[in-house]
């Protein structure tokens, strides 16, 4: 390394500037497509566990964790050690789809976590993002079945690439994109607070279950038999909506009966996030294809499909990707998966999630703008509503996206980072490190109440 390059690298780590100057330079350097800096206007200079520090030397409790990517939080020492080990091992950093002893070990361990210890599954390493894996899953389903249509669900999020966006429910990013992937049929997804059929409760779930069954079996439905059904067992971006067990089990039964592949998108909900290793385990089902990314790479880019071997219809080279051999991500991923499994983090997270929902329910009694608390494990949603306006016939108040946005801003000012989602952006979403402690969750509750008061919400 030359002295000039070394000095430039050193300068880059001394962080000359403040939030304002870094954000101004980012606006100069980057496209208008950037989003998080508009909601969370900071430049991060340091991160450890659930805490990050900005260029103004202010600390924040991070309940976003890379949109759920950082299962162990920031800069976990074992994850950093695994990076250092790869760097000094002599292994190549990228290998296309050539194998290495590290990839061999990672593959064996990952398979052991899949249903039935993975005996019926094989792995496909795709491009590095969840959307890349979704694209591969959709293509494979079409290849296996010889059919071209896909069923997806309202509120679902599967990525921003062409095919993944086509099966995503959010209409906003589709507005200026013509000629989306054809033959995508959207169906209503159960909602614990806003039943799409206007029924609510168990009756709403039963009606939606019947609706799906009938659509597939009705020869006059107008919908051709699909190649696949793709869904999230807990919708994340769509507002943290867990799928009812009965509904999910019926979908699995009907798809099996009709030779339709069931694709479970576990990109955000997978790897102990919901109190089970995979969110679909709450319903006791086995998908045909499991889409995995985010936490699987331990903070580094990696995406993998778990495919039932009977549906592995690929010919060699028919789906490729330059960066599917990220060795460092396999090392950090292996470390992350072992810590999650060996320490029963799923069990810890399940208990913490129930405790946190109880605390939020108590807060809800004082602040009725917290219209609905839902989720599983450390995947929690808080729907913000207008309690002074008339409720609908199901007892649900109108969503308040404006107050939700203000609360996100006031949380940020109080040193708390969280995300929004759901219809009208009315749901505040928690996706913290799975290693977050109860004391840190109490800090969250304190900061969240500070934000409510700062936003002008008066307790009752």
pLDDT of 57 higher than 70: yes
pTM: 0.95
In CATH, the architecture of 80-342 is 3-Layer(aba) Sandwich (3.40)
Q: Where in the chain are all domains bearing CATH 3.90.1150.10?
A: 344-460
pLDDT of 8 higher than 80: no
Residues with Cβ within 8 Å of 288's Cβ and at least 6 positions away in sequence, in order, are 228, 255, 261, 262, 263, 307, 308, 311
Tell me the pLDDT band of 216, cut-offs 50, 70 and 90: very high
Q: What is the pLDDT of residue 178?
A: 87
Q: What is the pLDDT of residue 4?
A: 46
pLDDT of 5 higher than 60: no
Residues with Cβ within 8 Å of 298's Cβ and at least 6 positions away in sequence, in order, are 71, 72, 79, 82, 329, 331, 332, 333, 334, 335, 336, 337
What average pLDDT does this structure show over 300-305?
98
In angstroms, the Cα distances linking 158 to 126, 144, 192, 266, 329 are: 15, 21, 21, 10, 21
What is the distance between the alpha carbons of residues 228 and 220, in angstroms, rounded to a whole number?
Answer: 19
Q: Where in the chain are all domains bearing CATH 3.40.640.10?
A: 80-342
Q: Which pairing describes strands 51-54 and 44-48: parallel, antiparallel, or unpaired?
A: antiparallel
Q: What is the pLDDT of residue 15?
A: 67
What average pLDDT does this structure show over 184-208?
96
Q: What's the half-sphere exposure (Cβ side, CA atoms, 13 Å) at 369?
A: 23
Q: What is the pLDDT of residue 176?
A: 80
Residues in the chain: 460
Q: For 178-296, list the strands marked E by DSSP.
A: 184-187, 228-231, 234-235, 241-242, 261-265, 289-292
Q: Taking the CB of residue 160, how many other CB atoms lie within 10 A of it?
A: 15
Q: What is the pLDDT of residue 13?
A: 53
What is the distance between the alpha carbons of residues 312 and 147, in angstroms, rounded to a whole number?
Answer: 16
Helix (H) or strand (E) holding 150: strand 150-153
Q: Does domain 344-460 have CATH number 3.90.1150.10?
A: yes
User: Over the stretch 21-38, which tens digit does the pLDDT of each residue have?
Assistant: 999 999 999 999 999 999
What is the distance between the alpha carbons of residues 124 and 110, in angstroms, rounded to a whole number?
Answer: 12
The mean of the pLDDT values for the chain is: 95
User: Over the stretch 346-368, which tens digit does the pLDDT of each residue have?
Assistant: 999 999 999 999 999 999 999 99
Q: What is the pLDDT of residue 14?
A: 61
What is the distance between the alpha carbons of residues 63 and 51, in angstroms, rounded to a whole number?
Answer: 9
Q: What six digits make up the tokens of 296?
A: 């699987």
What is the distance between the alpha carbons of residues 278 and 265, in angstroms, rounded to a whole number?
Answer: 10
What average pLDDT does this structure show over 76-94?
97
What average pLDDT does this structure show over 285-295?
98
């Amino acid at each position: 390394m030359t002295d000039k390059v070394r000095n430039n690298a050193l300068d880059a780590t001394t962080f000359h500037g403040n939030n304002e100057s870094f954000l101004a330079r980012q606006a100069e350097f980057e496209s208008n497509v950037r989003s998080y800096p508009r909601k969370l206007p900071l430049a991060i200079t340091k991160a450890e566990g659930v805490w990050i520090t900005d260029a103004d030397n202010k600390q924040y409790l991070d309940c976003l964790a890379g949109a759920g990517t950082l299962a162990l939080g920031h800069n976990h020492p074992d994850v950093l050690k695994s990076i250092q080990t790869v760097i000094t091992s002599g292994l190549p950093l990228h290998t296309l789809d050539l194998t290495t002893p590290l990839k061999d070990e990672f593959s064996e361990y990952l398979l052991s976590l899949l249903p039935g210890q993975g005996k019926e599954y094989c792995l496909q390493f795709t491009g590095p993002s969840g959307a890349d894996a979704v694209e591969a899953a959709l293509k494979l389903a079409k290849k296996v079945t010889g059919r071209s249509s896909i069923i997806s669900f309202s509120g679902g999020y599967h990525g921003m690439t062409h095919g993944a966006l086509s099966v995503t429910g959010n209409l906003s990013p589709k507005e200026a994109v013509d000629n989306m992937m054809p033959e995508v049929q959207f169906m209503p997804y159960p909602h614990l607070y806003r039943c799409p059929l206007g029924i609510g409760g168990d009756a709403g779930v039963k009606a939606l279950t019947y609706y799906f069954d009938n659509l597939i079996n009705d020869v006059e439905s107008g919908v051709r038999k699909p190649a696949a059904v793709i869904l999230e067992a807990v919708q994340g971006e769509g507002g943290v909506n867990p799928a009812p067990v009965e509904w999910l089990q019926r979908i699995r039964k009907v798809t099996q009966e009709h030779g339709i592949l069931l694709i479970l998108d576990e990109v955000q909900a997978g790897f102990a996030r919901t109190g089970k290793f995979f969110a679909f385990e709450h319903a006791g089902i086995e998908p045909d294809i499991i889409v995995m990314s985010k936490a699987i790479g331990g903070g580094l880019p990696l995406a993998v499909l778990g495919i039932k071997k009977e549906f592995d219809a690929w010919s060699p080279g028919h789906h490729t990707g330059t960066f599917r051999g990220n060795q460092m991500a396999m090392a950090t991923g292996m470390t992350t998966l072992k810590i999650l499994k060996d320490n029963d983090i799923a069990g810890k997270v399940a208990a913490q999630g129930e405790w946190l929902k109880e605390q939020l329910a108590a807060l809800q009694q004082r602040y009725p703008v917290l219209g609905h608390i839902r989720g599983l494990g450390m995947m929690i949603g808080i729907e913000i509503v207008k309690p002074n306006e008339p409720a609908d016939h199901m007892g649900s108040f109108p969503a308040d996206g404006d107050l939700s946005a203000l609360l996100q801003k006031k949380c940020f000012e109080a040193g708390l980072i969280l995300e929004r989602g759901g219809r009208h952006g009315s749901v505040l979403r928690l996706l913290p490190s799975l290693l977050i402690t109860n004391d840190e969750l109490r800090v969250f509750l304190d900061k969240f109440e500070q934000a409510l008061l700062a936003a002008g919400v008066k307790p009752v």
